[in-house]
Amino acid sequence: MTEAGSVQRIPRRALLLLLILTLVWGTNWPLFALAVAEVSVWTFRAVSCLVAGSLLLAYVRLRGGSVRIEPRHRRVVLVSCFLYMVVWNITSTYSAIMLPSGQASVLGFTMPLWAALFSWLIHREPLRGRMLVALGFGAAGVTLLMVPSFRDYAQAPLGLVLGLAGGAGWALGTIVLKRGQVPVSPAVLTGWQLLITAVPCAAGAAWFGDWQWFVPGATSILVIAYITLVPILVGNVCWISIVGLLPTQVAGLSAIAVPMVAMVSGALVHGEPLGPLQWLAMACTAVALGLVLLSPRRAG
């Protein structure tokens, strides 16, 4: 493991996982509004997390693996799960409903900036060299994407707050998980975190009176099924695998390409703006990713 300011060679497996994650999560954002067209955010998240978590743990058991987490590691799993899974899943979905999906994704993916800040404040991890420059380009890209959205943020300030809270929670949860070093496979860890997340989401659904039985339309069922099986199940396994392979700040910054895909997806699906400013932001993001992912190993 290298320190935050140093440069390391990124494993090919991590690069492949990042590519999958970017495509899976980036194309997911425009679908949120369709997923909650007939059901509440709480019900949607409770069902999707319960199904995805159950499928993951069942898959591990069918392959003869253990799904047990040692008691000494359960606190880390619970805390990281609350900060990442619970806070992120609820706030990001509400933000995507209140704001255009691409703009909501930009707020959520301020995560790398939060991760760098929290790592510096909590663990005194230094920021220097290529990582500092990469964070600068990443911040520039996020800022450029936020500029044309200030009117939307002013009209939906809660969406702005929830989007930023989601990014901050994701960052803190990732730091806790990385520091905790839970010795189980990404599938087991993801499965349990999804099941744990389903509990407060189900409680929220019950509290808001969402448990009236009805059958959603075919579109809602297909969208919820897709989000459950691909972005939630596959995407979260990829992310937790990446966290295990890379330093926190590198992992966080590498995910900054997701809102770029979300912007393009939002333009194609919902006709959201995609002009010179957005393309310039994507260029900044590409530079940031290049500095982090394509740099040679530094001696020492």
Q: How far apart are CA 126 and CA 13, in angstroms?
A: 26
* Largest interatomic CA distance in the chain: 62
Rg (CA), the chain: 19
| Contacts for 198 with CB less than 8 Å, ≥ 6 apart | 45, 46, 47, 49, 50, 53
Q: How far apart are CA 82 and CA 89, in angstroms?
A: 10
DSSP 8-state class, residue 300: -
pLDDT of res. 185: 93
What mean pLDDT do residues 222-227 have? 94
101-111 b/e with 16+ CB inside 10 Å = b? bbbbbbbbbbb
Token couple for 143: 């800022």
Question: 272-282 pLDDT, tens per residue?
Answer: 667 787 788 77
pLDDT of res. 136: 85
Question: 229-254 pLDDT, tens per residue?
Answer: 999 999 999 999 988 888 777 777 77
Question: 116-141 pLDDT, tens per residue?
Answer: 888 878 877 776 677 788 888 888 87
Choose between 292 and 108: higher pLDDT.
108
pLDDT of res. 300: 36
Give percent of the chain above pLDDT 90: 28
Given a cut of 80, whether residue 259 has pLDDT beyond it is: no
Question: 72-88 pLDDT, tens per residue?
Answer: 999 999 999 999 888 88
Q: Which of 34-38, 43-47, 51-55, 150-154 has the lowest mean pLDDT?
A: 150-154
Question: 43-75 pLDDT, tens per residue?
Answer: 898 999 999 999 999 999 999 999 999 999 999
pLDDT of res. 295: 53
Given a cut of 50, whether residue 6 has pLDDT beyond it is: no
Closest CA to 150 of 107, 94, 91: 107
- Report residue 42 CA to chain centroid gap: 18
Contact 278, 263 (CB under 8 A): yes
Amino acid identity of residue 138, one-letter, is G
Given a cut of 70, whether residue 299 has pLDDT beyond it is: no
Indicate the pTM of the whole model. Answer: 0.80
Q: CA-based angle 190:63:176, to the nearest 5?
A: 20
Residue carrying structure tokens 């805390």: 79
Given a cut of 80, whether residue 171 has pLDDT beyond it is: yes
Closest CA to 119 of 104, 137, 135: 135
Confidence of residue 209 (pLDDT cuts 50, 70, 90): low
pLDDT of res. 4: 42
pLDDT of res. 278: 76
What mean pLDDT do residues 197-208 have? 88
